[in-house]
Chains A and B, each alone.
Chain A
Amino acid sequence: MKSFTPLADTTDLDPKGKVAVLGARTPLKLDSGEELGPFNMAYQTYGTLNADKSNVVLICHTLTGDQHVANSHPITGKPGWWADVVGPGKIVDTERYFVVCSNTLGGCMGTAGPREINPKTGRPYGLDFPVITIGDMVRAQALLLDHLGIGDIFCVIGGSMGGMQVLQWAALYPERIHAAVPIATTPKHSAQNIAFHEVGRQAIMADPNWHLGNYAEKGGNPHAGLSVARMVAHITYLSEEGLHKKFGRRLQNREKVTFGFDADFQVESYLRHQGITFVDRFDANSYLYITRATDYFDLAADYGGKLADAFKGTKARFCVISFTSDWLYPTAESRAITQALNAVAANVSFVEIAAPYGHDSFLVNVPEFHEVLRGFLASAAEARGI
């Protein structure tokens, strides 16, 4: 049986990166009413914090992303998920900014989540881990920044679920952020968003190896369920046009269909590959918790149903970005965010970028998107004097 190790800050790259112990003295109060602490938070930093600590860029990762933004991934060996955007001389220039990215609460790359050891029992949390929200994720990130001695954030950036966190940051800590870039995101999960997530969760929970979330102790792993969940979700990250261009009806290494249920089509083979490789780096219970957190996200609901009230009095500059082919969080959602920011006369830019890659467009090399991000950051940095 593993024991909880409240690690001292480490700089090891493998696999957790740096880890901070948070909530030891005062536990984190969660939206569910439960308390969490002490708990580990794994994070990565790039660049150097300047003398007046004004150059902090906080990057919030997606549902299944992690803290390895710009370094090669310790499990898959692949380049960081935003390595073409973050790095020396890149758009988020690590020679200029001090970049922080933490593994989200509920995650499975070193931060407290269902796979980690519950310090109270000495056993993996499993479903004993409290249900968390986007607000909890952001409050935990704020604790990390406190721990690092960072007050203000120059810019908080994130796409998809990371974008929800950006909005939540703007709502919870308006005095701490100078600029905010919510990308391909939404102020609330729609019925369709929740529906897709529910299919994914049901796939996991229907896997006999799930053992009511207790697979760490029972042995086995609901890999089949988790990979089906990933396959369903992955379709929502792409677009019909993107799928058509990439695969069409082309067959996988064969001349004609086999009249069976093998992966005859390239698109099937691709999805199966996505599912199979995903389970190597992701935990099924984490997937349940994090999808739940996004389903519960409805920022306006916390402010009397009026989204604008979430941003009242904000002094931050915003750059809201959406993509034409994103049907998961379509442009209308970004427009709603923009209108709410306009309603409080916030300094906001809003750009819809034409790109065929669906929701995942912000993770693909889309030059126009990169130009917008570069221009906004440069101008915000000038205003901030960095």
Chain B
Amino acid sequence: MASDRTSERGGSRVEGRAIHHISEARPGTMRVDFLEIGRMVAPGCHVLDIGCGDGALLYHLVHDRKADARGIEISPEGVFTCVSRGLSVIQGDADTDLAHYPDDAFDTVILSQTLQATRNPEEVLRQMLRIGRQAIVSFPNFGHWRVRLNLLFGGKMPLTGCLSHPWYETPNIHLCTIKDFADLCRANNIVMERFIALNDRGQPDAFGSSLKFANLLGEQALFLLRRGS
């Protein structure tokens, strides 16, 4: 999958698939959603980060959260950067490579800002909850008011902080709203343990437990999922 992950480096925002330089994994400069994800991962856990980019989140999980964390990344530059940093990362594709892992191989499987770039998001989600006991998924929310207004009044494909590529070159081929995602979870008997709406800098906003408000006000969403019984 083409990762649309963003990374903060030296205070400036860097975007793109291939991040050649290492983002410092100091909490002060790290993406806030990574800190949120880190808090959901218990020390010593087996974690798989799908679409791990340059390994900023992996590095945080391994060094700050003491997790046994591995990654999958499609871009050769990302894989090179990760493995050179000593992270366990394979060059692979979320759409095809999850099938090779056994059931319950991980405690937590993470898909950060990548679901919308997969060819078959439903299958990826199913695979994640087959190989992991829980899953953490974050994605840009197409239901955010700015996106809605953009389309309503501008009449053009929305360009926002989270969705910064023009339509003809975006890797985001399966965009959804928070409500759409919740529907997909329900249809697949996936339990939504927690969700956090985030602003464009990945900081949590307080919308209580209302999916409806989060769908309007959250630029990004972060879900903690587990299999339904």
User: Interface of A with B (CB < 8 Å)?
Assistant: 317, 319-320, 338-339, 342-345, 347-354, 368, 371-372, 374-376, 378-380, 382
Contacts and interface: CB of A to CB of B under 8 A. Distances in A.
Given A368-B80, A372-B80, A347 B97 contact: no
Contact of B83 (A344, A347, A351, A382): A351
B26 interface: no
A13 B91 CA distance: 42
Contact of A343 (B46, B70, B83, B101): B101
Contacts of A374: 84
B86 A375 contact: yes
B88 A372 contact: no
Nearest to A345: B105
Given A339-B97, A352-B76, A354-B76, A347 B84 contact: no
Given A349-B87, A352-B79, 16 more contacts: A317-B88, A338-B90, A338-B92, A343-B100, A347-B70, A348-B70, A348-B90, A349-B89, A349-B90, A350-B91, A351-B80, A372-B84, A375-B85, A375-B86, A376-B86, A379-B87
Contacts of A376: 83, 86
B76 A382 contact: no
Nearest to B105: A345
Given A343-B100, A349-B88, A375 B83 contact: yes
A351 B101 contact: no
B161 interface: no
Nearest to B46: A345
B100 A349 contact: no
Contacts of A368: 80
B75 to A, nearest CB: 11
B208 to A, nearest CB: 38
B88 A347 contact: yes
A375 B80 CA distance: 10
B102 interface: yes
A375 B84 contact: yes
A378 B86 contact: yes
A382 B46 CA distance: 19
Contacts of A372: 80, 83-84
A339 B102 CA distance: 11
A344 B102 contact: yes
B88 A348 contact: yes
Contacts of A350: 79, 89-92
B90 A382 contact: no
Contacts of A352: 76, 79, 91
A351 B88 contact: no
A194 to B, nearest CB: 27
B84 A342 contact: no
A317 B89 CA distance: 11
Contacts of B83: 319, 349, 351, 372, 375-376
A347 to B, nearest CB: 5
Nearest to A372: B83
Interface in B60-93: 68, 70, 76, 79-80, 82-92
7 contacts: A343-B102, A344-B102, A349-B88, A349-B89, A349-B90, A351-B80, A379-B86
A374 to B, nearest CB: 7
A185 B97 CA distance: 20
A353 B79 CA distance: 10
A345 B101 contact: yes
B97 A345 contact: no
Nearest to B106: A345
A350 to B, nearest CB: 4
Contacts of B102: 343-345
A353 B91 CA distance: 10
Contacts of B91: 350-352
A268 to B, nearest CB: 35
Nearest to A321: B83
Contact of B90 (A342, A354, A375): A342
A354 B80 CA distance: 10
Nearest to B62: A379
